[in-house]
């Protein structure tokens, strides 16, 4: 697949106008220089820790519902992530592009494990869950690259955001009548650690798959407050003190005071009952370990008490 490596340095003159131009004409833009190096190092330290152990028995760790990826709630990675995702330069760009105030749709960490399988096909978001004209920009999704990314990078079909969108249409590229034409414009967005890729969610996109190389990103998105009636896709967990450096605009953008379209426990990161049922044996094993550990501790305490007296 062809590579797309254009970017806009947010520390350069007229970056906003150039970024807006790329986003409007191609449907995607790579913002470079948004995250200071010490911040991305801190984020990666936290990511490494979370990805080192699964979440069980109330301990902090990654979630895993299939063989292909590990996930985690983005904002629970800490204030560095909260501040990066709500960076006002990203908000400036997206709000200008969609001509509206925005609210956060979702934010999560995703490590694709390089399983050499296409589990997540190219698709577009058809806006079946928003109100208003879906042939106008209603939201931008985004990725924060946590390392230099080539194999397994995010891919986007340039200009596909300009194609007509029918509300509720089948959003998979494989189902589109102009599939081969669109495929010719699919580009692999290679980038550096700390790059923020922002794209119109109506354009066809997805990760390069199958690949054997793992890839770790923070995925998120902002949508028009009008189109979504100021509702995020799901309840987004956050540590309250991690919002201490945000201003009113940022708090409003991440959804403080807003609603949600989907219950917290219905979000795709959370284990559904059908998934947990498969692991019933593990659950019973954990219960047994807890039970015997409790009995053992009680017996030791009894012995200590008995010997003392
Ligand atoms: Fe998507």
* Two tokens, residue 223: 């949508």
Ligand 1 centre to CA of 122 (Å) is 8
- pLDDT (tens place) for every residue of the chain, 309 residues total: 899 999 999 999 999 999 999 999 999 999 999 999 999 999 999 999 999 999 988 899 999 988 899 999 999 999 999 999 999 999 999 999 999 999 999 999 999 999 998 888 999 999 988 999 999 999 999 999 999 999 999 999 999 999 999 887 899 999 999 999 999 999 999 999 999 999 999 999 999 989 999 999 999 999 999 999 999 999 999 999 999 999 999 999 999 999 999 989 889 998 666 666 777 888 888 889 999 998 999 999 999 998 887
Ligand 1 centre to CA of 303 (Å) is 59
Ligand 1 centre to CA of 201 (Å) is 7
Ligand 1 centre to CA of 207 (Å) is 9
- Here the CATH number for the domain that contains residue 16 is 2.60.120.620
Identify whether residues 256 and 283 lie together within a single domain.
no
Identify whether residues 47 and 132 lie together within a single domain.
yes
Task: State residue 246's pLDDT score.
Answer: 98
Domain count of the chain? 2
Identify whether residues 127 and 258 lie together within a single domain.
yes
Identify whether residues 197 and 286 lie together within a single domain.
no
Task: State residue 126's pLDDT score.
Answer: 94
Ligand 1 centre to CA of 131 (Å) is 19
Rounded Cα distance between 125 and 161, Å, is 10
In contact, 226 and 254? CB cutoff 8 Å: no
Rounded Cα distance between 98 and 139, Å, is 7
In contact, 179 and 106? CB cutoff 8 Å: no
| Mutual angle of helices 15-26 and 88-98, in 10-degree steps | 50
The pTM is what?
0.93
Closest of 115, 97, 106, 74 to residue 215, by C-alpha: 115
Contacts 24+ apart (CB under 8 A), 159-162: 159/25, 159/26, 159/27, 159/185, 159/203, 160/27, 160/124, 160/185, 160/202, 160/203, 160/204, 161/27, 161/137, 161/199, 161/200, 161/202, 161/203, 162/27
Identify whether residues 151 and 294 lie together within a single domain.
no
Identify whether residues 120 and 186 lie together within a single domain.
yes
Task: State residue 274's pLDDT score.
Answer: 65
Ligand 1 centre to CA of 250 (Å) is 24
Residues of the domain holding 144: 3-270
Ligand 1 centre to CA of 58 (Å) is 30
Ligand 1 centre to CA of 273 (Å) is 24
Only one residue has tokens 């509300």, namely: 167
- The residue count of the chain comes to 309
Ligand 1 centre to CA of 27 (Å) is 14
Identify whether residues 296 and 184 lie together within a single domain.
no
Task: State residue 273's pLDDT score.
Answer: 62
Ligand 1 centre to CA of 174 (Å) is 14
Identify whether residues 233 and 303 lie together within a single domain.
no
Identify whether residues 88 and 218 lie together within a single domain.
yes
Ligand 1 centre to CA of 106 (Å) is 12
HEC states along 265-308?
HHCCCCCCHHHHHHCHHHHHHHHHHHHHHHHHHHHHHHHHHHHH
Identify whether residues 258 and 286 lie together within a single domain.
no
Ligand 1 centre to CA of 204 (Å) is 8
Ligand 1 centre to CA of 79 (Å) is 25
Identify whether residues 135 and 156 lie together within a single domain.
yes
Identify whether residues 130 and 248 lie together within a single domain.
yes
Ligand 1 centre to CA of 294 (Å) is 46
Task: State residue 87's pLDDT score.
Answer: 98
Ligand 1 centre to CA of 285 (Å) is 37
Ligand 1 centre to CA of 274 (Å) is 23
Q: What angle do CA 52, 55, 60 make, to 5 degrees?
A: 75
The DSSP-derived string for 98-143 is HTS-EEEEEEEEEEE---SS--S--B----TTS-S-TTS--EEEEE
């Amino acid at each position: 697949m062809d590579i797309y490596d254009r970017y806009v340095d947010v520390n350069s003159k007229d970056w906003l106008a150039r970024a807006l131009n790329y986003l409007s004409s191609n449907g995607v833009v790579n913002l470079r220089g948004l995250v200071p190096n010490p911040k991305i190092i801190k984020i990666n330290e936290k990511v490494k820790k979370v990805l080192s152990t699964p979440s069980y028995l109330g301990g902090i760790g990654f979630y895993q519902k299939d063989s292909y990826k590990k996930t985690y709630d983005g904002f629970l990675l800490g204030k560095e992530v909260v501040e990066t995702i709500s960076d006002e330069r990203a908000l400036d760009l997206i709000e200008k592009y969609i001509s509206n105030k925005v609210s956060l749709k979702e934010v999560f960490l995703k490590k694709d494990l390089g399983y050499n399988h296409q589990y997540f096909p190219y698709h577009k978001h058809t806006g079946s869950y928003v109100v208003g004209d879906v042939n106008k920009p209603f939201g931008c999704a985004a990725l924060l690259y946590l390392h230099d990314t080539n194999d397994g990078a995010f891919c986007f079909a340039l200009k596909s955001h300009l194609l007509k969108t029918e509300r509720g249409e089948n959003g998979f590229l494989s189902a589109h009548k102009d599939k081969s034409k669109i495929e010719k414009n699919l580009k692999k967005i290679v980038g550096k650690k700390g790059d923020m890729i922002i794209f119109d969610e109506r354009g066809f996109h997805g990760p390069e798959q199958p690949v054997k190389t793992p890839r770790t990103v923070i995925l998120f998105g902002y949508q028009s407050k009008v189109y979504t009636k100021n509702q995020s896709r799901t309840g987004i967990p956050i540590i309250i003190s991690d919002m201490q450096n945000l201003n009113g605009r940022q708090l409003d953008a991440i959804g403080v005071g807003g609603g949600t379209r989907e219950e917290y426990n219905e979000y795709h990161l959370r284990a559904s009952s059908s998934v947990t049922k498969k692991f019933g044996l593990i659950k019973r094993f954990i219960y047994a370990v807890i039970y015997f550990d409790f009995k053992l501790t009680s017996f030791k305490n009894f012995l200590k008490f008995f010997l003392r007296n």
